[in-house]
Amino acid sequence: MAGDFLTRLLTPSPVMHWLVMTLPLTITLSGILGAVEREPGNRRLALAAAGLTVWLFLPLAYGDPQIAAVGEMISVFGWFALIGAWAGHVWRHRPTPVWVHGLVIGHLVAILIGCLVALVRALLGGGPG
């Protein structure tokens, strides 16, 4: 039964896939608009987010499964590091424009809601699996 729960919980969702993939793009937008306002640290944030966006949307095809696993690890660690860098940037600099950082927060809330929906679906035994 535990295997069924994990299968239902970890079943990929196209909505969650696009939410996770486009978060670096949203952070890139916040960095670019902050750089236009001449806020400190926004260029570096925008370049890191744009680099991760390219890394996620144009993945390299690896022949070796171990190298592919390392690439996936880099993607996951990069994603969380980018969120941490964005949060630290917002906490320290209080950057403008505020509305674009609200988009990032809204994006994170949508990901959280998607995670909660997946958890409830897995607990109730619905969905694939």
- Has residue 2 got a pLDDT over 60? no
pLDDT at 83 over 70: yes
**pLDDT (0 to 100) of residue 64:** 80
In this predicted structure, what is the pLDDT of residue 98? 79
For residue range 8-53, what is the model confidence (pLDDT) as tens digits? 666 677 888 888 888 999 999 988 888 888 877 788 989 999 999 9
- What pLDDT, on a 0 to 100 scale, did the predictor assign at position 6? 60
The full DSSP string for the chain is -HHHHHHHHH---HHHHHHHHHHHHHHHHHHHHHHHTT-TTHHHHHHHHHHHHHHHHSPPPPSSHHHHHHHHHHHHHHHHHHHHHHHHHHHHH--S-HHHHHHHHHHHHHHHHHHHHHHHHHHHT-S--
Is pLDDT at 126 greater than 90 in this prediction?
Answer: no
pLDDT at 127: 56
> Contact 17/111 with Cβ under 8 angstroms?
no
The predicted model scores a pTM of 0.80
